[in-house]
């Protein structure tokens, strides 16, 4: 730790903090100009450039009594890297805007950056710039850039007759949130899943190569995001509940709370799994599980019927 443990952002000052933060972020070969100038300069290879932006707000997207700063860093990076993954691409560059109170411990910012850098390293992405400002609460704004070797897979390409498939863990984060909301810290596997999601970073490009017709990052909830895909494609989706994996820790939480574990999987978000459609089951690559079907019509059903539970998160 380069600063005294009790030092705040006001004690350290903007430029000293920026110097320490940028030292944490390694730069890839594609970065011609990284942090320190008015803008970054990147070497763009052939293919499609894909860009996404996300916000994290203290009290809304994370709580400091539920997650350490390093965990928040992992989460902030993961949710942005996953957006590129959902297009069938790979992220390569990110910028971070950090708004924070002057009395925030400087060690919080450095731990956040360390977690962010560690998550980016999983896909070989570089943090190439950012900004700092004073704010009443911690606000993180991230922009991510990536590349698709093939045509980006959008939400609007699903067709009747396609199969619906899922990649990655689903419902784990929702289970962890349920545990934390009740003041507990176990099962630990679910709490850790809430603190640090594990997006299936290889699944997006694999789906694109396999001919996925549509794809979406599951951030708000499986059924909620399935609804976005169905609407964009002008089709109906049916999810088969018996095809969904219900891990043992989720079963334990459901039993303790009297809940149906399937509801965590169907309505839970923030695992950043991927949902995609493929022309047929034979085209579904390893790491993906067929969980339903696409037909003519509109909307999303579960086992052929309307779902009466929570379909996922809405911001307003």
The CA-CA-CA angle for residues 82, 84, 137, to 5°, reads 60
Question: Is 54 flagged in the annotation as binding?
Answer: yes
Question: Is 136 flagged in the annotation as binding?
Answer: no
Per DSSP, which regions of 109-180 are E strands? 126-134, 139-148, 163-167
Residue (of 202, 199, 198, 208) closest to 277 by Cα position = 208
299 vs 235: CA distance, rounded Å: 7
Question: Is 29 flagged in the annotation as binding?
Answer: no
The CA-CA-CA angle for residues 300, 282, 79, to 5°, reads 55
Residue 300 tokens read as 């999303």
Question: Is 71 flagged in the annotation as binding?
Answer: no
Q: Phi/psi zone of residue 247: left (φ > 0), alpha (ψ -120 to 50 degrees), beta?
A: beta
Question: Is 313 flagged in the annotation as binding?
Answer: yes
Question: Is 217 flagged in the annotation as binding?
Answer: yes
Question: Is 131 flagged in the annotation as binding?
Answer: yes
At residue 217, the 3 state secondary structure works out as: strand
Question: Is 119 flagged in the annotation as binding?
Answer: no
Radius of gyration of the chain (CA): 20
Question: Is 34 flagged in the annotation as binding?
Answer: no
Annotated binding site for ATP: 130-131, 155, 219
Annotated binding site for substrate: 61, 270, 313
Annotated binding site for Mg(2+): 38, 52-54, 83, 131, 217, 220
Annotated binding site: 38, 52-54, 61, 83, 130-131, 155, 217, 219-220, 270, 313
């Amino acid at each position: 730790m380069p600063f005294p443990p009790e030092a705040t952002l006001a004690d350290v000052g903007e430029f000293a903090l920026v110097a320490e933060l940028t030292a944490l972020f390694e730069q890839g070969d594609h970065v011609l100009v990284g942090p320190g100038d008015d803008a970054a300069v990147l070497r763009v290879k052939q293919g499609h450039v894909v860009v996404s932006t996300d916000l994290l707000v203290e009290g809304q997207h994370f709580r400091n009594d539920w997650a350490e700063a390093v965990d928040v860093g992992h989460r902030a990076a993961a949710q942005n890297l996953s957006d590129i993954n959902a297009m069938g691409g790979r992220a390569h560059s990110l910028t971070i805007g950090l708004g924070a109170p002057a009395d925030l411990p400087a060690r919080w910012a450095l731990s956040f950056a360390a977690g962010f850098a560690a998550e980016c390293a999983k896909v070989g992405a570089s943090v190439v710039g950012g900004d700092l400002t004073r704010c009443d609460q911690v606000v993180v704004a991230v922009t991510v850039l990536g590349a698709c070797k093939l045509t980006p897979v959008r939400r609007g390409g699903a067709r009747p007759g396609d199969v619906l498939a899922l990649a990655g863990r689903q419902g784990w984060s929702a289970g962890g949130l349920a545990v934390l909301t009740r003041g507990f810290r176990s099962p630990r596997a679910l709490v850790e899943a809430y603190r640090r999601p594990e997006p299936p970073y290889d699944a997006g490009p694999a789906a694109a190569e396999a001919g996925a017709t549509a794809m979406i990052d599951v951030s708000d909830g499986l059924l909620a995001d399935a609804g976005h895909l169905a609407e964009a494609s002008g089709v109906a989706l049916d999810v088969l509940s018996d095809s969904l994996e219900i891990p043992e820790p989720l079963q334990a939480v459901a039993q303790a709370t009297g809940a149906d574990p399937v509801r965590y999987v169907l309505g839970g978000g923030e695992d950043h799994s991927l949902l995609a459609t493929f022309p047929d089951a034979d085209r579904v690559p390893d790491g993906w599980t067929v969980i339903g079907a696409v037909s003519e019509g509109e909307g999303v059903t579960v086992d052929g019927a309307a779902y009466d539970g929570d379909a996922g998160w809405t911001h307003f």
